[in-house]
Structure 1
């Protein structure tokens, strides 16, 4: 039987310590992003993050606020390798960045056990709220294996019920990884910033393999929405 746990990770540990006044996280609301003392955007949810083989991270988060201004963090913050944003009242930011040590430890621990993340993650005033699901033994081993410096609070636990209508839940881990890398790299921008050949070179795969993964992932998402 599949089980789930919802944990809260202290934001003091999770958020990057940054003394540079160019960019700050909100003091009263940790979801806020400030640049040069101006509130630029507020994070609604973290839709996906993944640790790559080079130990950098690709992530997708939903925001509201000034998308164009947030995209400038690519030039302002050395740890941000790239940042691409969409438009609209609420929009997505696709980021490729160097993680904090705590974030890297968290993602490595999750990858070690046979468990999955129930997206999205959300930041609250208490910390980063994450729901994980898998076999009970794997969940117990995950919690026991976290180092003492990561402050994790167990909020709730129970039997996990898969939401079949969730398109992300229908993708394999590899499909999600390649799809998110493609998003972060600008494959779905208009015009496209990278090609399937570029993605294949970055991931060390053939162009045909990349195309196959993307088509299968796109088909699952479209069917879940249209059918």
Structure 2
């Protein structure tokens, strides 16, 4: 097995592209020094599952089905990964899963006190090239589609749901929602369209 030369998300076995990693859902360093991890892939799940027979360091690999699927792996990490995971465990921080591999590298969201984050970054191995994209107040629901909505959009959607706007057949119209919330019909329609577009994009794209 090898990673893609131009795209590290690609998994190749015997010269054939088997799967592409979309996200790392979870990784944990165990007390015995081995690692368990769950990652989301697309591609040939059955063929990826054979890597435990091909690579001695991989103790086991279990996959789910579907167009995009999960692979649960138990393996022996290389020295670099073990050092990195140990380093993360030494600081009072947590990882906001999943991690995502991009064209520029692995994108990770961490939360914790500024001092702990700075200490972590300063103590990473020299081989790790870190770019801090931004800092700020942690928002636990940032990966939740609802976390992308404004407070007003949430209010309009909650009112629409409670009134039966999304039921079949509809039990409420935009005019009804406008009357209940004291807004114009056009404003209600605008809030609904913007909120629906955000939710759809977060799920489909």
Same fold (TM over 0.5): yes
CA distance in 2, matches of 1:91, 1:149: 31
Structure 1 unaligned blocks of 5 or more: 1-22, 167-227
CA distance in 1, matches of 2:122, 2:2: 32
Asked whether the equivalents of residues 102 and 150 of structure 1 are also in contact (C-alpha less than 8 Å), the reply is: no
Deviation, structure 1 residue 106: 1.2
CA distance in 1, matches of 2:83, 2:115: 20
CA distance in 1, matches of 2:142, 2:50: 37
CA distance in 1, matches of 2:75, 2:7: 23
Deviation, structure 1 residue 164: 8.6
Alignment match of 1:159 (pick from 137, 144, 158): 137
> Structure 2 length as normaliser, TM-score?
0.67
CA distance in 1, matches of 2:100, 2:142: 21
Moved over 6 A (4+): none
2:49 is the alignment partner of 1:54: no
Q: Which has the larger radius of gyration?
A: 2
CA distance in 1, matches of 2:127, 2:19: 29
More contact order relative to length (CA 8 Å, sep ≥ 6): 1
Deviation, structure 1 residue 100: 1.7
> Structure 1 length as normaliser, TM-score?
0.61
CA distance in 2, matches of 1:103, 1:159: 28
CA distance in 2, matches of 1:100, 1:108: 12
CA distance in 2, matches of 1:160, 1:111: 19
CA distance in 2, matches of 1:74, 1:145: 33
